[in-house]
Chain A
Amino acid sequence: MLAPILTLSILGLLFGIGLALFFKIFQTKEDPRIAQILEFLPGANCGACGFAGCFGLAQAIAEGKASPTRCAPLGLEKQKKIAEMFGIKIEEKTRLVATLICNGGIKAEDKFVYQGIETCFSANLLHGGQKTCPYGCLGFGDCVKVCPFGAIYMDKEKKLPVIIEEKCTGCGLCIKTCPKKILTLRPADKKVYVMCNSIDKGALVNKYCKSGCIGCYKCEKVCPSEAIHVKNNLAVIDYEKCTNCGECVKVCPTKVIIQII
């Protein structure tokens, strides 16, 4: 009866002591605050902060090399909480969301049938993709695949990605991924935006896309706060002046200026 109990206890004790000695030699000293910060961080390892994953950023914050604002997905409240932990003050920033600036999809014509690997990246390598419009969305959804927060889905009927603004954290990963660079960041409280980025002349745009900005200046004339201007045949909104009035949306002949309700 005693033998098994003794054997196991002694063995356990020996191993325990061995481990303790080993741990003394190979001890790792880690800042306990890193784990605390890591709890706040979203853990999606999106890399938008410029560090290798959330752990990298946590380490940099703990060492005082980076500000919590580097993590856009975190949101202001949590950023403040981390800043409080370290006694740093952070500036308030408005929330940014990703915005698609192309209304093409099925409305834009194809110049050939693309049958290669179904990613925007590879399609873009072949003569800039299958769309006649050199600026337009290719619709293979690289942005959908890269979004770590599930905030983008593909509208199968329109063949355009749709951004769910409540889920979007403004990390900017989709912007880096899009080979056509037709995603931008927009302040979340500004509800009006132009869904085109073609700088071709109006007549040309009309040929290849039913919903492109033709640079007709109607929006510029009607805007009460002089927030929208046509530059290079493309309407651009100055968000510092825009008041969300929606006048430009009403006059746009190609319905390319969108207002979210």
Chain B
Amino acid sequence: MAQYLMIIISAVFINNFILSRFLGLCPFIGVSKETKPALSMGLAVTFVMTGASLITWLIYRFILIPYNLIYLRTITFILVIATFVQLVEIFIHKVSPGLFRAFGIYLPLITTNCAVLGVALLNSEMFFREREVLANSFSFSLLQGFFSGIGFTLAILLMSGIRERLEFAEVPQALKNIPIAFIVASLMSIAFLGFSGFKL
């Protein structure tokens, strides 16, 4: 039980994908101008991360390891992620065209989002030892995938809240928009450093 809790806390706070690992920064900067699209982006990434964790674990465990194909890991995982992103894209286009346009290029960009590939690779490294499958590794992978996505959502949501308020601030001309967003992101990241002392 403690192990599960550790994975959850670690994925959301201690090793937050954006603020501690610095992965998946492009949607984080690109879609964080307003809260609503930011939340939707977070949920889309969470879905892709969870789905990708599930499928990549199955592929890794039942195809790549038995056939000695671990070196194909990256390309296979990208294939899985690309499929998932396409699913999400078709779905969003159908359900909410407005949101689809708000995402713009950042939706297909989840495909190459290092956070999603990151969580898949991380799962395959953390919960497998060489070719040996560790105990509970399937549920651990799923949990880590889902809660990394939650961590991403949390970070992008906080960021969008700050950026919405920044709209009313007097920011020097040269720092407007993206530069100030990077400064804010680094300050948030320093705040999240405080979690790195936690050990469960």
List the interface of chain A (C-beta within 8 A of B).
3-4, 7-8, 11-12, 15, 18-19, 22-23, 26-28, 55, 117-118
Contacts and interface: CB of A to CB of B under 8 A. Distances in A.
A118 to B, nearest CB: 7
A28 B76 CA distance: 29
A162 to B, nearest CB: 19
Nearest to B71: A4
Nearest to B170: A118
A15 B93 contact: no
B63 interface: yes
A12 B79 contact: yes
Interface in B8-31: none
B94 interface: yes
B86 interface: yes
A7 B64 CA distance: 9
Interface string B141-180: 0000000000000000000000000001010000000000
B94 A27 contact: yes
22 contacts: A3-B68, A3-B69, A4-B69, A7-B63, A7-B72, A8-B75, A8-B76, A11-B59, A15-B79, A15-B80, A19-B83, A19-B86, A19-B90, A22-B90, A23-B90, A27-B90, A28-B90, A28-B93, A28-B97, A55-B101, A117-B168, A118-B170
A221 B146 CA distance: 80
Classify the secondary structure of A's interface with B. helix
Given A3-B67, A15-B79, A15-B83, A8 B90 contact: no
Contact of A26 (B67, B75, B94, B170): B94
B132 to A, nearest CB: 21
Nearest to A18: B83
Contacts of B94: 26-28
Given A8-B79, A27-B90, 6 more contacts: A4-B72, A7-B76, A15-B80, A15-B82, A28-B90, A118-B170
Contacts of B90: 19, 22-23, 26-28
B182 interface: no
Contacts of A22: 87, 90
Classify the secondary structure of B's interface with A. helix
B131 to A, nearest CB: 16
Contacts of B59: 11
Contacts of B63: 7, 11
B4 interface: no
A22 to B, nearest CB: 6
Nearest to B80: A15
Nearest to A29: B94
B93 A7 contact: no
Contacts of B69: 3-4, 7
A28 B68 CA distance: 41
A12 B80 CA distance: 9
A34 B97 CA distance: 13
Interface centre among B90, B97, B170 (most CB of A within 10 A): B90
Interface centre among B64, B68, B72 (most CB of A within 10 A): B72
Interface centre among A22, A26, A117, A118 (most CB of B within 10 A): A26
Interface in B91-105: 91, 93-94, 97, 101
Nearest 10 interchain pairs by C-beta: A15-B83, A26-B94, A28-B93, A28-B94, A26-B90, A3-B67, A19-B86, A4-B69, A4-B72, A23-B90
Nearest to B69: A4
B98 to A, nearest CB: 8
Contacts of A18: 83
B76 A11 contact: yes
Given A3-B67, A4-B69, A55-B101, A19 B87 contact: yes
Contacts of B75: 8
Contacts of A11: 59, 63, 76, 79
Interface centre among A19, A117, A118 (most CB of B within 10 A): A19
A70 to B, nearest CB: 20
Nearest to B91: A26
A15 B168 CA distance: 46
Contacts of B64: 7
